[in-house]
Amino acid sequence: MKLVFATHNDHKLKEVQQLLPKSIQLLSLKDIDCFDEIPETGTTLEENAKIKADFVTKTYGLNCFSDDTGLLVDALNGAPGVFSARYAGEQKNDKDNMVKLLSELKGANNRSAHFKTVVYLNLKEDSYTFDGIVEGHITHEEHGNGGFGYDPIFKPNGYDKTFGELPSTTKNTISHRGRAMAKLVEFLKNKEL
């Protein structure tokens, strides 16, 4: 079965490829010659994931899923949230986003945060959503150079290393995206496609 993952992010694509069963041929936006920057105009993670998946399904007529992820920091009333990727500006620079977040948390005692991923799937004219959450806290400085996004400053509860330090196999098992994708994979297996 062919399934499009509506992303231009190679890191996300690689992470998701490791999670899906071999029976699913995962296609990226590049694979279907979609080079459009799909505008994420939603006010929630769910809306943004739906916008991206719907764009691909309507434009290309393909089964597709998309995700949107946000880092929600308690001391910042849930920011950066839906704006996580462009927190420091439209250039979507991971380093700039981390610097801004650490600066805004300077002196904050409460550093609790959680990542949330919402996956939106369009499959055979039906739509489904799956989500995953991982609780943790924001460190005072970057640790590790693995992963992407805020990984070097997010330490999941129960671990003494950030997502930037943990092996990808561990991160994929416990992460927000890993949990949402596990629900998607389980759903696809039960659909007997």
- Catalytic residue positions, numbered: 68
- C-beta atoms surrounding 61 within 10 Å: 8
Question: What's at 185, amino acid-wise?
Answer: V
- Pairs from 106-112 (Cβ < 8 Å, separation ≥ 24): 108/75, 110/74, 110/75, 111/73, 111/75, 111/137, 111/138, 111/139, 111/140, 112/73, 112/74, 112/75, 112/136, 112/137
CA distance 156 to 171: 9
